[in-house]
Amino acid sequence: MYTVPASNLVAIVCILIFSFVLPIGLFIFWKIRTKANWSAFFIGCGTFVLFALILEQLLHTTVLTIAGDGLRNNLWLYALYGGLAAGLFEETGRFVAMKFWMKRTLSRENAVMYGIGHGGIECMLVVGMTYISNLVMALMINSGGLQALTGMMDEATAQTFQTAVEQLCTLPAWQFYMAGVERISAVLLHIGMSYLVYRAVRESRIRYYAASVGVHFAVDAGTVVLTQYVSAIGVEIVLLAVVIVFIAWVMQQYRNEPDRNDTTGILRAGGTDDDEL
């Protein structure tokens, strides 16, 4: 009979709480520090849902139905496709949001707030909802309430469910904590890419948009490939290191950003306000 260890239960609860505390805490901190508009946070949330969870998933459903196992079973092709799709949909979503929905409130402070919302809602939905499910399942396992549930499933579903149960019971606790590390990297990455797209809109420079797509593609595709050759903790260490370097560069750009009224500064940056994308 399976039992979820106490250490795993603690890890699940900690990451569940963290998945909501991280975005909400960042929202409160940035709001107090910069007086950024709260609406930018919710525009970021809505944009992620529309472009990543609805539009991108419709593409995946169509492509994977047509390509089938030929795409899924080819590591490099699958990584290239997944990374490119994520980059194009999410960064285009950012661009549309900032160009049209944040037209009157677009500033670097609100761009960061947008990034907190975009990455934050992903954290709450992808990790938070998953860990709520994990916690419910773990409590059912330890209370002996799974037998009746599995009896109502067909064979394929029961097999998938059994695999999930085994993972909850046998994985070491530290692997659950890795989801928290991964989300820190992801949220920081979303903030950085949001700043790049903000610069693309503000300065009418497509290179910033292209850079955000490129960064998103490289991280997503690289992560897929790395998981096949490096341990889970190794993947997270590499990802965090890359994100730290990226964010350090973004912070430098943020601090050195030319004033909007300083046309000479904008010219030095390589564009003008009249040079529309």
Scored b (16 or more CB within 10 A) or e, 215-232 reads: bbbebbbbbbbbeeeeee
- Kindly state the DSSP code that residue 231 receives in the 8-state scheme: -
Residue 2: band (very low, low, confident or very high) from pLDDT cuts 50, 70, 90:
confident
| Residue 274, domain member (yes or no) | no
Q: What is the domain extent for residue 252?
A: 6-269
Q: What pLDDT was estimated at residue 270?
A: 41
Q: How far apart are CA 151 and CA 163, in angstroms?
A: 15
121 vs 263: which has the higher pLDDT: 121
Does the pLDDT value for residue 132 go beyond 70?
yes
Give the closest residue to 49 by CA, choosing from 116, 122, 101.
122
**162-166, 203-207, 241-245: which range is least confident on average?**
162-166
Give the closest residue to 138 by CA, choosing from 167, 115, 175.
167
Q: How far apart are CA 44 and CA 235, in angstroms?
A: 27
Does the pLDDT value for residue 34 go beyond 50?
yes
Share of the chain above pLDDT 70, in %: 90
3-state helix, strand, coil in the chain (%, to 5): 85, 0, 15
| Residue 233, domain member (yes or no) | yes
Average pLDDT over residues 76-105: 97
Does the pLDDT value for residue 151 go beyond 80?
no
Q: How far apart are CA 251 and CA 257, in angstroms?
A: 10
| Residue 275, domain member (yes or no) | no
Residue 6: band (very low, low, confident or very high) from pLDDT cuts 50, 70, 90:
very high
Does the pLDDT value for residue 44 go beyond 80?
yes
Does the pLDDT value for residue 4 go beyond 70?
yes
Q: Domain tally for the chain?
A: 1
Does the pLDDT value for residue 261 go beyond 60?
no
- Kindly state the DSSP code that residue 230 receives in the 8-state scheme: S
**176 SS3 class:** helix
| Residue 115, domain member (yes or no) | yes
| Residue 276, domain member (yes or no) | no
Q: How far apart are CA 7 and CA 179, in angstroms?
A: 15
Average pLDDT over residues 22-37: 98
How many Cβ atoms from other residues are within 10 Å of residue 140's Cβ? Answer: 16
Does the pLDDT value for residue 262 go beyond 50?
no
Measure Cα distances from 80 to 57, 75, 76, 83 in Å: 16, 9, 6, 5
Average pLDDT over residues 264-274: 41
Q: How far apart are CA 270 and CA 266, in angstroms?
A: 7
Residue 272: band (very low, low, confident or very high) from pLDDT cuts 50, 70, 90:
very low
Q: What pLDDT was estimated at residue 157?
A: 74
| Residue 1, domain member (yes or no) | no
**144-153, 162-171, 219-228: which range is least confident on average?**
144-153
What's the pTM?
Answer: 0.90
**To the nearest whole number, what is the mean pLDDT of the chain?**
90
| Residue 277, domain member (yes or no) | no
| Residue 95, domain member (yes or no) | yes
Asked if residues 87 and 213 have their Cβ atoms less than 8 Å apart, the reply is: yes
Residue 163: band (very low, low, confident or very high) from pLDDT cuts 50, 70, 90:
confident
Average pLDDT over residues 242-264: 83
**258 SS3 class:** coil
Close Cβ partners of 205 (under 8 Å, ≥ 6 residues apart): 199, 269, 270, 271, 275, 277
